[in-house]
């Protein structure tokens, strides 16, 4: 407002409208806790050299740049790719270190000989731990022609080595000969010319260099499998103070769903034994964390190898009655990206927890329909098959207990066929979309009414707050998020002297009461059909 009006003229004064629109918060941000191939600080957070704090990625290529690709023994990369394949757009990665040498081990590859697959031809190591390196062995274009002198003047066959980094061709080294010369000559040729790899030919008595020519093909130089070195569920939980584990998500307030796909990794021994008690305890801790946050939901995985009867037993052992968690069964079978050429059928596929793919479906449903739509009857993308097929009779037992089944319907595809939380005693919180809708509304109102703090607590403030919340809820009702043929049937907002008496105002409180009628899914669609005899009958 102008301080004085000295000269005649037109003055413009901006006045606040008194209405501060409430914007809906995001609902499709996931967080995944587990192990990664590496951590590239140049692509990540420079203030976090170990990469243990939650960091946001918005695509699979960005994840690869920061955390590398797939690595044997880790399920988190598969979950993240499944998330993005199924429609996810933003995820926080919470990396759990696996030891003092985590991220320093070189990615290595052992190539088999073309003529003798049981013999090692070359050992190749990648120099840059932060990139995904592949090598391609290109054989000679054609075998040398005979010269009629017993092959004495036949030129030696020359191989070509191509090196790819993050999918792009970086180097091509030709003229490599596997002849009777010293293996050290071949090593020196590659090692002096390559900026990405180092080559070593292991000593082997009784096998000539010519017999060890590598098998043609394109290979990924893999990092060694994850070695846990004493990692426990406490490392997954982490610390708020140190910003590690899922407790570190305190700095990522927009996260709405949390999964620990590598929980199976730390509870499975080298001999294949499974620590059921530790797995259950860790899942319960995650549920407790999400329930305490009141803004996040846990997406839980059943362990692999369970049939329907054992999955039901697992739900009973989990023993949690909460609306802030959802349990999915069975595990998913996907193509193994680390399978080598010539791998057996058992090596071509890998079983992964469903939580990453499910989180992607939740995000996709939020974007296309809204958070109030149940994330079910939706296709699961990027999988080969299910670990177990679930029948209708088996789901009759699992569904009432809150075990959401993923089922194959032949040509109709593989779909999530359940939308229940783990709430048992209070049926009003039975469905995932109801709980998530309330989370969305509560957080949107909380953030959208921050302006009201320390305002004069009078009738004018009450009306402004009521008007803003009413406008927000009316918009949701018009989009189909609330039940009712009129707005009055869908919600109410009470903020007047009846719930803000003088004693409450004297205590500095402003109380607003909001009632909401959420939409609930048509979980059971029932058609009652009977014979009708009146269609062709006529009366005299």
- Coil, helix or strand at residue 300: strand
Contact between residue 71 and residue 77 where contact means Cβ atoms under 8 Å apart:
yes
Domain C-terminal end among 172, 194, 220: 220
Look at residue 446 and tell me if it is in a domain.
no
- 150 Rama class: left (phi>0) / alpha (psi -120 to 50) / beta: left
Same domain, 377 and 338: yes
Look at residue 394 and tell me if it is in a domain.
yes
Candidates 102, 108, 105, 89; CA nearest to 51 is 102
Same domain, 412 and 273: yes
* Separation of alpha carbons 224 and 229, rounded Å: 14
Antiparallel, parallel or unpaired: β 491-494 and 513-516: antiparallel
Which token pair is 131? 């990139």
> Domain containing 212 — which CATH number?
2.60.40
* Domain extent for 277: 29-98+227-432
Same domain, 361 and 417: yes
Reading the chain (540 residues) residue by residue, the pLDDT tens digits are: 456 788 998 988 887 776 688 999 999 999 999 999 888 888 888 888 888 999 999 999 999 999 988 888 899 999 999 999 999 999 999 999 885 444 445 667 777 877 777 777 888 887 776 567 888 888 887 655 555 555 555 666 788 888 888 778 888 888 887 776 667 777 788 888 888 888 888 877 777 777 778 888 887 777 667 767 678 899 999 999 999 999 999 999 999 999 999 999 999 887 888 999 999 999 999 999 999 999 999 999 999 999 999 999 999 999 999 999 999 999 999 999 887 665 666 678 999 999 999 999 999 999 999 999 999 999 999 999 999 999 999 999 999 999 999 999 999 999 999 999 999 999 999 999 999 999 999 999 999 999 999 999 999 999 999 999 999 999 999 999 999 999 999 999 999 999 999 999 999 999 999 999 999 998 888 998 988 887 665 555
Strand partners for 172: 162
Look at residue 440 and tell me if it is in a domain.
no
Same domain, 113 and 180: yes
Same domain, 306 and 410: yes
Count how many residues are written for the chain: 540
Which token pair is 476? 């949701």
Which token pair is 274? 């499974």
Given the structure tokens 């610390």, which residue do they identify? 239
- Coil, helix or strand at residue 412: helix
The predicted-structure confidence for 21-69, as pLDDT tens digits, reads as follows 899 999 999 999 999 988 888 888 888 888 899 999 999 999 999 998 8
Contact between residue 406 and residue 332 where contact means Cβ atoms under 8 Å apart:
yes
> Domain containing 272 — which CATH number?
3.40.50.11780
Q: Could you say which DSSP state residue 420 is in?
A: B
Same domain, 390 and 280: yes
Look at residue 347 and tell me if it is in a domain.
yes
Look at residue 392 and tell me if it is in a domain.
yes
Backbone phi and psi for residue 447, each to the nearest 5 degrees, phi listed first: -75, -35
Same domain, 376 and 467: no
* Separation of alpha carbons 255 and 283, rounded Å: 18
Strand partners for 407: 415
Contact between residue 335 and residue 351 where contact means Cβ atoms under 8 Å apart:
no
The predicted-structure confidence for 251-268, as pLDDT tens digits, reads as follows 999 999 999 999 999 998
Look at residue 420 and tell me if it is in a domain.
yes
Same domain, 259 and 126: no
Same domain, 241 and 363: yes
pLDDT attached to residue 272: 84
- Coil, helix or strand at residue 299: strand
Domain C-terminal end among 220, 236, 270: 220
Would you call 322 exposed, middle or buried from its count of C-beta atoms within 10 A (0-12, 13-18, 19+)? buried
What's the whole-model pTM score?
Answer: 0.83
Same domain, 35 and 169: no
Same domain, 40 and 165: no
- Max CA distance (Å), the chain: 113
Count of the separate structural domains present in the chain: 3
Candidates 247, 260, 256; CA nearest to 300 is 260
Contact between residue 318 and residue 280 where contact means Cβ atoms under 8 Å apart:
yes
Domain C-terminal end among 220, 240, 262: 220
Same domain, 231 and 211: no
Look at residue 20 and tell me if it is in a domain.
no
Look at residue 18 and tell me if it is in a domain.
no
Strand partners for 405: 329
Antiparallel, parallel or unpaired: β 197-200 and 217-220: unpaired
């Amino acid at each position: 407002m102008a301080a004085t009006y000295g000269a005649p003229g037109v003055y413009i004064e901006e006045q606040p409208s008194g209405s501060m629109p409430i914007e809906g918060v995001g609902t499709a941000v996931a967080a995944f806790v587990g192990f990664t191939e590496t951590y590239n600080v140049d692509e990540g957070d420079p203030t976090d050299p170990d990469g243990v704090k939650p960091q946001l990625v918005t695509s699979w290529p960005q994840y690869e740049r920061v955390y590398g690709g797939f690595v044997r023994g880790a399920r988190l990369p598969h979950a993240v790719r499944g998330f993005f394949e199924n429609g996810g757009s933003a995820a926080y990665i919470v990396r759990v270190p696996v030891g003092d040498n985590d991220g320093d081990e070189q990615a290595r590859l052992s190539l088999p000989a073309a003529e003798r697959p049981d013999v090692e031809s070359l050992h190749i190591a990648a120099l840059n731990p932060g990139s995904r390196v592949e090598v391609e062995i290109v054989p000679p274009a054609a075998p040398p022609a005979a010269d009629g002198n017993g092959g004495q003047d036949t030129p030696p066959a020359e191989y070509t080595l191509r090196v790819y980094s993050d999918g792009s061709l970086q180097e091509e080294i030709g003229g490599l000969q596997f002849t009777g010369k010293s293996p050290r000559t071949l090593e020196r040729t590659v090692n002096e010319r390559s900026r990405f790899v180092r080559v070593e030919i292991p000593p082997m008595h009784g096998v000539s260099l010519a017999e060890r020519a590598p098998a043609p093909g394109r290979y990924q130089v893999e990092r060694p499998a994850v070695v846990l070195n004493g990692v426990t569920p406490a490392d997954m939980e982490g610390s708020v103070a140190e910003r590690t584990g899922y407790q570190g998500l305190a700095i990522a307030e927009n996260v709405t769903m949390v999964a620990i796909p590598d929980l199976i990794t730390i509870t499975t021994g080298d001999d294949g034994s499974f620590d059921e008690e530790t797995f259950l305890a860790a899942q319960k801790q995650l549920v407790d964390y999400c329930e305490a946050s009141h803004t996040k939901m846990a997406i839980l995985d059943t362990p692999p190898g369970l049939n329907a009867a054992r999955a039901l037993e697992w739900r009973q052992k989990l023993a949690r009655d909460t609306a802030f968690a959802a349990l999915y069964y069975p595990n998913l079978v996907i193509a193994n990206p680390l399978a080598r050429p010539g791998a057996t059928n058992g090596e071509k596929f890998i079983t992964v927890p469903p939580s990453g793919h499910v989180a992607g479906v939740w995000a996709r449903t939020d974007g296309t329909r809204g958070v109030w739509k149940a994330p079910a009857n939706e296709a699961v993308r990027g999988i080969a098959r299910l670990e177990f097929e679930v029948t209708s009779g088996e789901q009759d037992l699992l569904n009432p207990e809150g075990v959401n089944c993923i089922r194959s319907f032949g040509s109709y595809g593989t779909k999530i066929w359940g939308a229940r939380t783990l709430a048992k005693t209070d049926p009003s919180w039975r469905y995932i979309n109801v709980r998530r809708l309330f989370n969305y509304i509560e957080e949107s109102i909380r953030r959208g009414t921050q302006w009201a703090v320390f305002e004069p607590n009078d009738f004018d403030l009450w009306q402004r707050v009521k008007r803003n919340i009413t406008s927000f809820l009316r918009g949701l009702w018009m989009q189909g998020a609330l039940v009712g043929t009129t707005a009055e049937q869908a919600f109410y907002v009470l903020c007047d002297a009846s719930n803000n008496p003088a004693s409450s105002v004297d205590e500095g409180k402003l109380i607003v009461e909001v009632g909401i009628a959420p939409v609930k899914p048509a979980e059971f669609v029932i058609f009652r059909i009977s014979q009708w005899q009146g269609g062709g009958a006529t009366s005299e």
